[in-house]
Structure formats: C-alpha cells, structure tokens
Structure 1
C-alpha cells in the first residue's frame, strides 16, 4: 500500500485469534439479543466494560445491562444487524443497522452506525463505542424538536 504521494504504508496488523473469535461471538450475541439475553452480557463482555453511544457513557456490566433493559422498555422489536466488519490489530469496527418501534412515538426507527470494539486477552469486549448521527437519525425525527433541529441545520448551511 502507498499514500497519494507514493510513500509506503504498512498494512494494519492482523487480528489475533481471540479478537476474531470474540468479535464473532459478540456479533452473534447482539444479532440474537433478547430481553432475557441481557442477563448474559458477561458471556461476551468484561465486568468493567466501557460503553459509549450518543446518549450513554457507562462503565460496568450492571450499567450496560440497565442501558439495554431501558431499550427494551422503550421499544418494540429492537434488532441489530451487522453488515460489515473490519479489523486493525485488537480493534474491530462494525457497521450495523438498528431497527425497532419507539412505543411513545408510535414510530418505526432505523439507525445506521458504526461500533469500535476493543478486546480483553480472553476475547471478551472491554470497550464498545458507538458512532452514529443522533441529530439526523434521531433528533430530527422527534415531534417539535425535529423541526427546530432541521431549521438549525439549514441555518448552519448543512441542510
């Protein structure tokens, strides 16, 4: 590989077997996630898991379980589907689609995002950081607030 100016760039390091196996287990777990499975998150995460998304920044298994219990309380049929995976050493990047129905809004929801996973030596996930556009994929769809967010985006020139 090389950069646009012709300089050589080393390829990223290959993922270790625990990372490959851990990523496969984690993806399978989340694609089959149920309210009951939330209690088994310790099968695929470390006790000190650090989880970040646009609405949460929590540390620890109990805190992560609360996040997912809240999701099931607020939504009908939430589902994750991983569409792509990429690795760079002990890091796995996932591209995913999340769908479900928000009960209070009586609205179907679809969010596309990316996750950055970091692993412990045993292949369990120790850090899960979600990246997705909460403004465009969430806030703009809310009644009242959505109109304000769209107006601000237009005024800022990002329409």
Structure 2
C-alpha cells in the first residue's frame, strides 16, 4: 500500500502520459550534442534560472553559451533517465550521465549519477537545478587532485 499523495507517484509507473514540457525536456537531453545545442532554445524559457554545482545562470542566452563551452571540450556526453517524479508544473528527474573528456580519466568514459529539479511555465523550463557529486564528475579524474579527493572521501566514510 502506497501512502504517498497521488500527485507524487512516479508517472512512469502510474501513468505514461507526461506533460509536454517534460516530454520535450527528456527528448532533448537524450539527444543533446555539440551539433544540436540549438535545441536548448526549444525547451527553456527566455528567463531560465539554471543552477549546477559549478555555476548559477540567469537567461537563455547565457545558458546556451555555458552549454556551448561544456560541450565543445567533450568527445561525447549521454544521459540515461532512470526515474521521473512529476507533480503539476515541476519534476525530479534521476539520471546517469556518461561522458568522455580528453583531459579526464585518460579520455575514458566517466559515469555520474545525479538528478535535476525542473519547473515549467507556459510549456518551457523556467527553473533547472542539477544535483550531482562534482568529485565523481571532475575532481577524482584530475591527476593530483583525484588522489586527494578520493582520500578525503574515504576518510569521511569512516
């Protein structure tokens, strides 16, 4: 027996119909690459507020520039969406990102689990915040800093 309010049950289990803004968001992120960054303008509101562990960005033009900088340095970047919880005009999306960067992990694939909290207005994303382990994504894969980061994590886990 599920004691959660009806609106918090994952739509993938309860109902396969997702709001248009969420369907479009998921579709864009599962195909996003350096060749099609213009797709960001189809899902984000002009006044988007975007937050991740490295930046806080206000506005669609600044967000597009940020993504351009991120994607021009990677060989590949793919997202697999594992779970979605949706309630009215907001959603939590749990994902796994796989990416290859020539200067990280000897160019081999890096996998990072994370989730995003997004909110919509007028079928566009107005708020997007990513939650992820920046050490897992970046610091652990840098030559000297990686060893220090892994040591700190190991010490904190004791």
Give the TM-score, by structure 1 length: 0.82
Please identify the structure whose Cα radius of gyration is greater: 1
Q: What displacement does 1:10 show? A: 4.3
2: distance between equivalents of 1:97 and 1:152? 24
Give the TM-score, by structure 2 length: 0.82
Moved over 6 A (4+): none
Question: Could you say if the C-alpha distance between residues 80 and 10 of structure 1 is closer, same or farther in structure 2, counting changes exceeding 3 Å?
Answer: closer
Structure 2 residue runs without a partner (length 5+): 12-17
Q: What displacement does 1:117 show? A: 0.6
RMSD: 2.2
Counterpart contact for 1:116–1:128, Cα < 8 Å = yes
Instruction: Identify the structure with the greater helix proportion.
Output: 2
Instruction: Give the 5 Å matches for 1:15-26.
Output: 20-26=19-25
- Residue by residue, what CA displacement relative to the aligned partner does 1:22-64 show, whole Å, maximum 9, x if unpaired? 1001110111112232123221110111111111211111111
Instruction: Give the 5 Å matches for 1:12-91.
Output: 12=7, 20-91=19-90
Report how many aligned residue pairs link the two structures.
148
Structure 1 residue runs without a partner (length 5+): 3-8
